[in-house]
Amino acid sequence: MEVVKIAHPLREITLTYDRSKPELECEKELVEMLVLKHDYWRKLQLEQSKLAYDIGEVESEVDLEGIRFSAMEAAMLQKHQEKKIYASDKKKKDLVIEAREGFFNLLGKMATEHNTFITPLQKKSAALGKEVYEFLEKHGGENSNDGVDYDEYTNKDLKVARHEASCSLDSLKYDDEHEALIELVDKIWIGEEILKDYVLKYRAYNNRMVATYALSEEIKAILTNYLDNEDILNCSISESYANGTGDITKKLFYMIPPGDPKIRAAKLMYGAGIGNQGFPQITFNISVEDVRKLNAGGIVEQLAILQHFPALLEKFVFTCSVNVTKEDGTLLKIEDLRGNQIAMEWFSKLRNLPCSLFFFESRDARAYIQIGEMKFDQSVVDKKGDGIRLSGEDFQEVCQRLYDACHFFMVFCHNTGFDPIPYIDSILVESGLPITLEEVIADFKEDLANGIKPSYFIQ
């Protein structure tokens, strides 16, 4: 009898042969398949080791982030307790306002830290989850195998068994080797357990983060209830339609449906911002990156939400402004953006809410919203002072856009209790274009009688 040892990085394979018998082809093939099984499990062992290392790396980051986040957690809890105490006494308004500034500073810090620490960790965790999923699909899913075709291996094993008397391979020793491999696999395979500890740790961290953000929302609610003495943020009409009790004949043409979570979020943010002098002028601060990407969706959404707050709607008309925040933190005001074609084109994206121009104080901003992206035919442009006079198709396009904005503002304000007509009249007079207020009102009434189609005003 001859003992043959086959070196392998997973484990040494020991086989026994009776050299008085010829080695059959089926024996060779069976041994080759046994080696292939060893190859497969060695590869899995290496992949698994790498995956365990990756999990350990991200788990260490979760530990460090959990320690770092503790300071934010404690600060938010302190602010929450502080606001509850101050807001229990209506005579402590100055203290509430002062404490509110600290809260907003904390919110800003939390937003910065979220982008700096939390978002990258969330991305790493998502990538890790994908890596584990792909690993388990490959090695634990329906298509997994141990490196050889099951049916083929079984046929080879049965064929050797049928020729056992004439085979040189000791089948009992072979079976021992195969069993030893299975026992080893049971020890090295961690399969479904591979993410267990990490998931528990990450979930605990995530729950802490969610609770801290929930505290910030509670603080906003405390501030809103305390500071909104004039009931500016009353959205009871919207709520009546959300719960099904509103008069359907008086329902607004809502851009954002009643009951949407964004409405409550806006109420809390606006409420927390009310100061000693009442509701402040709104300045939208956007990043220069949003301008480059022509992303104006956030502002459009905030303006669309105003339908749910009729008393707030009036305070926004002709009062809002926009600042662009550069990478170094400096601000660019509307005056600094004159002549900047990208900035002007960004403003034109606000026309996704066609009446958006009615909310901005700056005449420049209103002009950019209307014509910011237009490329004028210079042959029909008559420059006069700081302005331009248009003719032809460009002129018709500008007229149509202004008409649409005015008509849409009538739709937007319908049944809110806010009268848009004086503001439409002001815009038309300012423009000097051949569009009359009477025309806008008459067309709106006709459209209202015929049934205004949602596809017209939701873009």
Phi, psi of 285 (to 5 degrees): -100, 120
The 10s digit of each residue's pLDDT in 187-199 is: 988 887 888 999 9
Contact 274, 280 (CB under 8 A): yes
The larger pLDDT score, comparing residue 118 to residue 326, is at 118
The 10s digit of each residue's pLDDT in 32-47 is: 999 999 999 999 999 9
Phi, psi of 382 (to 5 degrees): -110, 100
CA distances from 166 to 29, 33, 158, 427 (A): 16, 20, 14, 103
Q: How much is the mean pLDDT over the chain? A: 89
Q: Residue 4: helix, strand or coil by DSSP?
A: strand
Contact 416, 252 (CB under 8 A): yes
Contact 166, 21 (CB under 8 A): yes
The 10s digit of each residue's pLDDT in 217-266 is: 999 999 999 988 888 999 999 999 999 999 999 999 999 999 999 999 99
pLDDT interval class at 415 (50, 70, 90): very high
**pLDDT for the residue 379:** 44
**pLDDT for the residue 97:** 85
Q: Helices H, strands E: what count in the chain?
A: 17, 7
Contact 128, 54 (CB under 8 A): yes
Instruction: Give the 3-state DSSP-derived string for 71-107, with helices as H, strands as E and coil as C.
Output: HHHHHHHHHHHHHHHHCCCHHHHHHHHHHHHHHHHHH
Question: What is the arithmetic mean of pLDDT over 433-453?
Answer: 91
b/e per residue 95-117 (b: at least 16 CB within 10 A): ebbebbeebeebbeebeebeeeb
Contact 185, 234 (CB under 8 A): no
The 10s digit of each residue's pLDDT in 239-250 is: 999 999 999 999
Residues 6+ apart with CB under 8 A from 52: 190, 194
Highest mean pLDDT: which range of 9-23, 79-93, 222-236, 332-346: 9-23
